[in-house]
Amino acid sequence: MPAKGRERAAEQQRGARRDSYRRGLGFFAISLFALAVFWFVTRPPAPRPIPASAVRSATAAGCSVAARQFESKPSRAHLSPGEDPHYTEHPTTAGAHNPIPLPSQPRIYTGPVDETASVHSLEHSAVIVYYRPVGDGGIDQAVVDRLTAVVPTLPYTYLIPYPDLPAGQGLAITAWNMIQTCPTSIPATSAETIVRGFTTAFACTRNAPEARSGFC
């Protein structure tokens, strides 16, 4: 092949490589943009304000204000089998936890569960409503019955008895590093309004460091 022909062929090959490179770069940019859009659209929402109706009900019932349980950033470490988490608060809303969270179902428990698994579920953006059982000086059975009917209709929310709640405390409504408590005298209608409000604010939101939309 004459020299000019070889040069022309070589230039055509270089052009083809440049075109291929540009196409690959363009495809990568489009894919990256699509991934960013997908992440933005599907990411969990930010925490919301607790509805005013729930705030009013909490005040009237003598409940605490929903607040952070720990000022410093809680541990998110996974515990080894048999390792003591050394929780300083009961119930705790954050800290080292079982590598396996609570299952997505059931959402209603009639006996206590492994608290280290509960903490892992909170890390995944669950809300857990703990209650002091009726037979242990806790809330009225009407409250338990009302919440048993309501909680399964709420996003990623559990109802779990917790006999070790402090005396006089009937409910502890929790999200990751957030807690609101109510006395044992709370009426069933108020309990429902408060739990619904807390769930609206925190369930399935970026309040939790590993919010999971799959359970919501």
- Per residue in 157-215, pLDDT tens? 999 999 999 989 999 999 999 999 999 999 999 999 999 999 999 999 999 999 866 67
For residues 187 and 110, the answer to whether their CB atoms sit within 8 Å is no
43-75: buried (b, 16+ CB within 10 Å) or exposed (e) per residue? ebeebeebbeebbebbeebebeebeebeeeebe
- Per residue in 58-96, pLDDT tens? 999 999 999 999 999 999 999 999 999 999 999 999 999
What confidence score (pLDDT) does residue 101 get?
A: 96
What confidence score (pLDDT) does residue 37 get?
A: 37
**60 and 155 housed in the same domain:** yes
**83 and 130 housed in the same domain:** yes
CB 206: neighbour CB atoms within 10 A? Answer: 15
DSSP assignment string, 37-76: HHHHHHSPPPP-PPPHHHHHHHHHHTPPPPEES-SSPPP-
Sign of the C-alpha dihedral, residues 193, 195, 198, 203?
negative
**28 and 96 housed in the same domain:** no
**102 and 198 housed in the same domain:** yes
**118 and 35 housed in the same domain:** no
- Per residue in 7-54, pLDDT tens? 665 566 665 566 555 655 544 444 443 343 333 445 578 999 999 999
Q: Is residue 47 part of a domain?
A: no
Type of residue at 87: Y
**22 and 61 housed in the same domain:** no
- Per residue in 110-133, pLDDT tens? 999 999 999 999 999 999 999 999
- Say how many domains are in the chain: 2
**26 and 88 housed in the same domain:** no
